[in-house]
Structure 1
Amino acid sequence: MTIKERIESEARRTALRYDPSASRYSAGKQVGHIRGFIEGAEYALNNQWISVDEAIPQSNEEVLCLMKSNGAVVSGFIFKEGNACKVATRPDFEFEDYLDYQVEAWMPMPEYRKEARP
């Protein structure tokens, strides 16, 4: 099942939970709830990256980092050095970066829940 199909399925499943009257009054109202859910989910999925100019995570929070140099994504811990935000990785992970490990954006580490898998 694709992400789009999962979003649409969950939208249909949860539409009535938030407004049970939607089933009694009109199918159009239910469709509106489904569309709202889908649009919200798509927005959230497409806007997960947070610019380091907006905010940085706590120094002990491991996050996914989008590197300025080449767009690579690595996991690590963001810290400020002067005006730049840089990434420190775990000791068992090494990578080369020609812009001195500067981070452009970050996002929280995604959670994996086994019960959510089909």
Structure 2
Amino acid sequence: MKMHSYLRGWGLKANKNVAFLRDTIQKMIDLSYSATRNRCSLQDKTKRPAIQKLAVMWLGIHAFHKVLSQRPQHYRALLQGFSFQLKRPRYQKYRLQFRSLTKDGQEGLLAQIPF
């Protein structure tokens, strides 16, 4: 919950700065996609990277939703936006594809994060 600590330290109210937080999270997800794609292309320059942007976006939004949902009173508006995005039809394929991955990851990871 490093992000929660930063926001608290800066004195930002999550419910009043929803657009800023949403844009920041989106930029973080885009940056992770770009870094992963570049790393894959460095390993094999002959092929186009097999990583899909929508898959990375779904995983990133899902991860932020899961972590921030541990403090729903602070991030209510942000979580509603994430829920809406995750339910969009373009992400349904990834919701089904990564169901077991997210279930296994949540059980182990969320138990280790101190809230």
- TM-score normalized with structure 1 length: 0.32
Task: Give the number of the structure whose residues are more often strand, by fraction.
Answer: 1
Question: RCO (CA 8 Å, sep 6+): is it higher in 1 or 2?
Answer: 2
Bigger CA radius of gyration = 1
- TM-score normalized with structure 2 length: 0.33
